[in-house]
Amino acid sequence: MWICRSASLVAFIAALFGAGALAAVAPPIETPGRIESVTVHSEWVSVTRVASVELTAGLHEVRFTNLPVTIEPASIRADAGGRAVVTRVAYEEREDVSAYETGLSEKVRALEDARRQMAILDERLLVLAKEEGLLDAIAERTAQRSAEQVGSGRLDLDEITRVSKYLAEQHAALLERRRTVTAEKQALQQSIDRLTAERVEYESAGPPLLRSAVLNLSIDEVSDPTIPLRLTYLASGVKSRVSYNVRTDPSLAQASLEFEVEVEQATGEDWRDVSFAFSTHPIVDPTAPPALRPGVIEPASSEGSSLALRQPVEEGTLLSGRASLARLVGQGGRVVSRGSLGSPPFTLYRFGQSATIPSGAGHGQRLRLNTFSVRPEFRYVAVPVISNSAFLRGTIENTSRVHWLPGPVSVFLGSEYVGETTMPYVAPGSRVEIFFGTDHRVAAQRTQVSNRTRSTGLLGDGRETLVEYRIRITNATGQAMPVEVWDRAPMSRDDRITVSTTGFSPGLSRDEEFRLRQRSEGLLRWDIDLPASGRESIISYTLVVAHKAGVEVPVIPD
């Protein structure tokens, strides 16, 4: 593709084909076309404009005008639907001198009008000054005549009072008129300053650029003079992000997942009633592969590490696992099974109706790409060491063919907004966990039933502390519901201290992930079916901490 700036197409054809070819070239046709569709990528947008033109056999030039300021000229492509041959596509920028001179004339005229209005206000102030002078002269003449009357004995006090009152009223009216005119002058001066600055800025900027795509067409035979033209190009200045709404009714019988994309664009052209699509395919440089950066492995620390498989125990403390427990209820969405592995494939999502997204609106336009009817598998998660309330969790399966992309999720329980969490990438066939907040109708209370220390006679006259815990779970929802109950046991990093748990009633969960990973972190989990009758469910177990005599062990909290 050629890029020319203010080039003469006529001169080009004359040089290429000779002067005789000019007779076959029709006058240029200009059209802005119509934006038919846009496809938004991460930071770019692919725009398609269409136009229909009436052409005869021969050579023709068609200009698509008003291209956006953020256009990428090298991306421009065009076709004529097979009814004509596009022999050349060029990008052209030229100064719009006519529009510039018209705009400058309007600014000069507005500034001159404002200055004429200022002159009128100055004249009004001069008139007011003369009126004030006249009133002052009348007051002076009245005072002089009153003095003469005092000597002659003919002083009329009523007349003096009337005149004084009249002069005072006239002075007050003149003062108010002066204040009004002065305020008008101040406001007008601000307008003059603004218009002057706008004119200076306009003159400094110079004529605006007209951006056009110039198409040269060749037509041998014309069976239908209407030629469909299609122009595509890339433009920058686009931001987009995926988001979701998850809504479930209070009975937990049904739920919906709304898949949306929010788009904000400042390309310089408005998209009105266009076909909209959102693509995860990146716009990359085709001339080179992406750069590969070195990878770094760092030791795990108390802040965690991407390579750490378990949460480290904090230095100098016996108890651990609280941070892990907090993650159970504070985490965003978590994929618990996968129908396919890997990261999201490149996917195109189409909006089901026409979209209108103006340029430079200052806020994003949210478009709903799809709404999925889902049936979450609900269960409560109780962590009584952190909170007595239970957390409602729904496990949702992606039964559609659509890949759910990472993004924020607004969670609603009935009409009540619960909060925001995060959706990970969820492939079709995968399942994701979403929390719906706390439900105070389900409560779990953890108490320390007993705490006693005895001598074991082992480990050189050692000591053994036995702590018995009991967890009560109550259900006031009126319906049966499974619940996960989590607790944590201390972990020892000192050979002189051993920690064990025993007497579990009921037994610990048989969940595979819990047994393989979380149990080794000192976490405890029970899976219980809460009855709908409201009868309490009880969990109990005993913690045993054994240590040598003389080893100081911190107090085990409730």
Domain positions in the chain: 2-96+208-236, 99-205, 239-283+315-547
In this prediction, residue 136 carries a pLDDT of: 86
Q: Rounded to 5 degrees, what angle do the CA atoms 153, 159, 165 make?
A: 140
Three state DSSP letters for 401-426: CCCECCEEEEEEECCEEEEEEEECCE
The chain-wide mean pLDDT, for the chain, equals 83
To the nearest whole percent, how much of the chain has pLDDT over 70?
84
Stronger pLDDT, 201 or 290, i.e. the higher one: 201
Phi, psi of 396 (to 5 degrees): -115, 130
Which single residue is written with the structure tokens 């609106």? 361
In this prediction, residue 558 carries a pLDDT of: 60
* Strands lying side by side in the sheet with 416-423: 365-374, 255-265, 238-248, 407-413, 416-423
Q: Which two tokens stand for residue 416?
A: 């009540």
In this prediction, residue 460 carries a pLDDT of: 55
Whether 189 has a pLDDT exceeding 70, the answer reads yes
Neighbours of 280 (CB within 10 A): 16
Q: How confident is the model at residue 497 (pLDDT cuts 50, 70, 90)?
A: confident
Candidates 86, 45, 490, 96; CA nearest to 268 is 45
In this prediction, residue 153 carries a pLDDT of: 63
What contacts 256, CB < 8 A, 6 or more positions away?
245, 246, 247, 248, 371, 372, 373, 374
Phi, psi of 117 (to 5 degrees): -60, -35
Q: How confident is the model at residue 364 (pLDDT cuts 50, 70, 90)?
A: confident
pTM: 0.67
Q: How far apart are CA 106 and CA 113, in angstroms?
A: 10
Beta strands in 158-316 (DSSP E): 209-219, 226-236, 238-248, 255-265, 271-279
Question: In this predicted model, what pLDDT tens digit does every residue of 501-541 receive, in sequence order?
Answer: 999 999 999 999 899 988 988 899 999 999 987 788 999 99
Q: How far is CA 279 from CA 41, 128, 338, 403, 425, in A?
A: 5, 70, 23, 12, 15
Question: In this predicted model, what pLDDT tens digit does every residue of 376-400 receive, in sequence order?
Answer: 999 999 999 888 989 999 999 999 9
In this prediction, residue 381 carries a pLDDT of: 94
Stronger pLDDT, 473 or 557, i.e. the higher one: 473
Q: How far apart are CA 23 and CA 18, in angstroms?
A: 10
Count helices and strands in the chain by DSSP H and E runs:
5, 25
Q: Which two tokens stand for residue 540?
A: 């109990």
* Average pLDDT score over residue span 489-493: 84
Neighbours of 404 (CB within 10 A): 26
Which single residue is written with the structure tokens 């108390």? 302
Whether 43 has a pLDDT exceeding 80, the answer reads yes
Q: Which two tokens stand for residue 549?
A: 């005599």
Q: How far is CA 65 from CA 127, 210, 215, 430, 467, in A?
A: 55, 7, 11, 48, 81
Whether 303 has a pLDDT exceeding 60, the answer reads no
Q: Which two tokens stand for residue 98?
A: 């006519």
Whether 342 has a pLDDT exceeding 90, the answer reads no
Q: How far is CA 283 from CA 168, 403, 453, in A?
A: 79, 20, 68
In this prediction, residue 11 carries a pLDDT of: 45
Whether 320 has a pLDDT exceeding 60, the answer reads no
